[in-house]
């Protein structure tokens, strides 16, 4: 049996870009990706704290300080909105017992806080 647990969380990052005419994804700053353990092309759930929209997409690497919506997801938020980005892992009960997710709280420039 496997359990699905929170693996990584970027909590309340600010949307800095939006590009509707794109094949679809979310661009995330490399520093945030590294700090959170979220990988290139990983499936993520995105929650827009300003309007309540929730959606799933995959990650592409953005520019420094960037969190950007691409493709149809660009209709689900606007620049300046705060978002929560979540990724999950499937773990055995034994693995889950000691697993700790990585939680990142970005500053106003989407830089990971120490």
pLDDT tens digits, 24-66: 899 999 999 999 999 999 999 999 999 999 999 999 999 999 9
Q: How many domains does the chain have?
A: 1
Active site residue 25: yes
Dump pLDDT digits (tens) for 70-95.
Answer: 999 999 999 999 999 999 999 999 99
56 domain-assigned: yes
Q: 45 in a domain, yes or no?
A: yes
- Sign for the pseudo-dihedral over CA of 111, 53, 81, 60: positive
Residue 37 forms part of a structural domain: yes
List the binding residues: 57, 71-73
Residue 108 lies in a domain: no
pLDDT at 112 over 90: yes
Q: Give yes or no: 58 in active site.
A: yes
Domain containing residue 9: 3-92
Q: What was the pLDDT predicted at 24?
A: 81
CATH of the domain at 49: 2.40.40.20
Is the overall model pTM greater than 0.95, yes or no?
Answer: yes
> Does residue 98 lie in a domain region?
no
State the pLDDT at residue 77.
Answer: 98
Q: Which of 17, 22, 58, 88 is catalytic?
A: 58
**Catalytic residue selected from 8, 17, 22, 25:** 25
Contacts of 34 (CB under 8 A, 6+ apart): none
Q: Which residues are annotated as a binding site for substrate?
A: 57, 71-73
Residues 6+ apart with CB under 8 A from 44: 26, 38, 56, 57, 58, 59, 85, 86, 87
Tokens of 20: 């509707």
């Amino acid at each position: 049996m496997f359990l699905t647990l929170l693996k990584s969380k970027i909590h309340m990052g600010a949307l800095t870009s939006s590009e509707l005419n794109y094949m679809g994804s979310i661009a995330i700053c490399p520093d945030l990706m590294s700090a959170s353990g979220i990988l290139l092309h990983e499936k993520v759930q995105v929650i827009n704290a300003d309007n309540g929209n929730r959606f799933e997409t995959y990650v592409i690497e953005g520019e420094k300080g960037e969190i950007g919506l691409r493709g149809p997801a660009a209709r689900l938020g606007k620049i300046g909105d705060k978002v929560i980005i979540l990724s999950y892992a499937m773990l055995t009960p034994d693995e889950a017992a000691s697993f700790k997710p990585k939680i990142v709280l970005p500053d106003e420039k989407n830089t990971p806080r120490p």
